[in-house]
Structure 1
Amino acid sequence: MSKPVIGFIGVGVMGMGMCGNLARKSGCIVLAADLNMDNVHALAADGVVASSIQQIAETASIVFLSLPAIQHVEAVCTGPGGLAAHARALKTIVDMSTSDVERTRQLARTLGKAGIELVDAPVARSREAANNGTLLITVGADQAQFNAVRPYLDCMGSDVLLCGPTGAGQVVKIMNNMVLLNTVHTLAQAFAMAEKSGVSKDLLANALSLGSAASFALKLTGANYLAKDVFPQKMFSTAYALKDLKLALELSETIHMDNAISRLTAQQLQKSVDAGFADNYYPVMYRVIAGGEQQP
């Protein structure tokens, strides 16, 4: 019996680890495509087969997407030459990107008319978690859809949660990022204030970790990046962080709820982009808060 065929589109910083884990653990043939096909070829040892959107739509029953934003998801799904245009075997698309809630729901309706189901399953945690298969995956689907895709999601994540119907996975992911980004904004403010007041950033990181301000955000970004004033590229960038926070603000408008805290964080992220830090790890907003707007 031949192995089942599944597809993966978007083999970037997060998608590379996700696709590799899917190929190694799923027992399926994984066809993959990306604008940078070098990323796909780098996974050949894991069993990933370089392919095209057309071939994937024609031969894979399930396709996973890991793309920058909803406009890219829409283009790959329903644009000229996209998945829907070439669908033969294709029955289910699983969007693992962080995407706009209402546009995700509309895309699901559009694809449904073509006989294709859309499941939203955005991921949280780091590139290391993507490589290790320990992502948090929040899923928007009905129970039958969830049961069908769960074995594949388990290849990529250690925590896979059904959050509700279509779009609910995006809501939970956006809330996760909103809380994280607002927390890191506060941490950046605290580190800048401590340093200007003559207190070591390393000492502050340790002190906060021992008290009621302890958090995952402090442990990850406080001690390792804010205290060290190190904000590398090819991590979760300021530009991506701003994009995700804008999704939270758009959702706030949709449900008619004020979100003043997130607006302030978005303004600070925008200042960081304007200062030349768009590609740096987003806690770099510390440098702008502290008055060091010079590009590294």
Structure 2
Amino acid sequence: MTRVGFVGLGIMGAPMARNLVKAGFAVAGYDRNTDAVARLAANGGTAARSIAEAVRDAEIVITMLPADPHVEDVVFGPGGIAGHIEPGTLFIDFSTVKPETSQRVARRFGEQGVRVLDAPVSGGEAGAVDGVLSIMVGGAQADFDAAKPVFDAVGKVAALVGPSGAGQFVKAANQLVVGGTYALVAEAIVLMEASGVDAEAGLEVLAGGLAGSRILELKRKSMLARDFTPGFRIDLHHKDMGIVLDAARQAEVALPFAGQVAAFVQSARAQGLGDADHSALLAVTERLSGR
């Protein structure tokens, strides 16, 4: 059994760790939320009491954390992974962070002889639970090949898209498309409902045509019901849109619609919807129309 140290057992990390256990990995998990650690242990994993304990003797170390400061702290902070990981270990960061953060981690761990992949994911909580995430990977081909059993356990598709940091650029593009699609679906719902149209039937037709999308497939019913139970929170999408705009500046390209989507997500956050699902962009659209 391949030994895995898994740090970060939140909405995404917990089901991913469980799927690794189901696939036959020996998973030692750590999170500051002790209940999350206990749940992993109840599902066949091992409860680690510290980062050091999770990393000890691990052949693969995995992190799934909310944002750059968390990655910086868990990797480089006191008691962090960098002080305990052994040369030759494969480190996979599933977190969505700035490309430069992933590149910095890769440089630091490269000096320690640690193999590194940045591997942000798309698919939300449902994708994590079902093990059908899309995984965008930056790093070396040999390391990607070595990580394939992990990717197969937690995802449906994984692609090596370039060197360290490349996965984060692709994830930024993903979040731009997702945010923009949610915004347009929200406007379509408001337009149909305000016009006296059966919006449920209308979205059914849209989902089957050229306007169809994964968002229409999975989210149209919950959006019509105004059920914004978080699978992926507005606060996190706000963070990701910041990454998109930073990446655009770094690449020196103009992304005018990215700015509009970022402002839309910021508006949702300013209206107190930070803990709601990103489909709550519908509520923002309704308020703009006084509905």
Q: Same fold (TM over 0.5)?
A: yes
**What pairs up with 1:32-47 in 2 under 5 angstroms?**
32-47=29-44
Shift of residue 29, structure 1, vs aligned partner: 2.0
Which of 241, 247, 250 aligns to 2:246? It is: 250
Tell me, yes or no, if the aligned pair for 2:182 and 2:281 is still in contact at 8 Å: no
CA distance in 1, matches of 2:198, 2:225: 10
Shift of residue 293, structure 1, vs aligned partner: 10
Aligned to 1:109: 107
* 2:15 equivalent to 1:17: yes
- 1:119 maps to amino acid: L
- The alignment partner of 1:163 has SS state of strand
- Which ranges in structure 2 are unaligned for 5 or more consecutive residues? none
Which of 257, 260, 264 aligns to 1:264? It is: 260
Shift of residue 4, structure 1, vs aligned partner: 3.9
**What pairs up with 1:1-296 in 2 under 5 angstroms?**
3-25=1-23, 27-51=24-48, 52-88=50-86, 91-221=89-219, 223-233=220-230, 235-291=231-287
TM-score by length of 2: 0.93
- 1:130 maps to amino acid: A
Higher deviation after alignment, 184-193 or 252-261: 184-193
Evaluate the alpha carbon distance shift between residue 143 and residue 274 of structure 1 in structure 2; reply closer, same or farther with a 3 A threshold. same
**Percent of pairs identical after alignment?**
34
Shift of residue 119, structure 1, vs aligned partner: 0.7
Higher deviation after alignment, 277-286 or 203-212: 203-212
Tell me, yes or no, if the aligned pair for 1:63 and 1:93 is still in contact at 8 Å: yes
Tell me, yes or no, if the aligned pair for 1:61 and 1:89 is still in contact at 8 Å: no
CA distance in 1, matches of 2:92, 2:186: 35
Shift of residue 72, structure 1, vs aligned partner: 0.9
Alpha-carbon RMSD across the aligned residues, in angstroms, is 1.9
User: C-alpha deviations, 1:136-195, integer Å up to 9, x for none?
Assistant: 112112111111111122111121212121112222222122111111111111211222
CA distance in 2, matches of 1:152, 1:194: 44
- The alignment partner of 2:116 has SS state of strand
- The alignment partner of 1:43 has SS state of helix
Shift of residue 75, structure 1, vs aligned partner: 1.1
Higher deviation after alignment, 31-40 or 105-114: 105-114
Evaluate the alpha carbon distance shift between residue 82 and residue 158 of structure 1 in structure 2; reply closer, same or farther with a 3 A threshold. same
Shift of residue 90, structure 1, vs aligned partner: 6.7
Which runs of 4 or more aligned residues in structure 1 lie more than 4 Å from their structure 2 counterparts after TM superposition?
Answer: none
Tell me, yes or no, if the aligned pair for 1:60 and 1:89 is still in contact at 8 Å: no
Matched positions, count: 289
- The alignment partner of 2:150 has SS state of helix
Shift of residue 89, structure 1, vs aligned partner: 6.5
Tell me, yes or no, if the aligned pair for 1:140 and 1:166 is still in contact at 8 Å: yes
- Which ranges in structure 1 are unaligned for 5 or more consecutive residues? none
Evaluate the alpha carbon distance shift between residue 175 and residue 114 of structure 1 in structure 2; reply closer, same or farther with a 3 A threshold. same
CA distance in 1, matches of 2:189, 2:130: 31
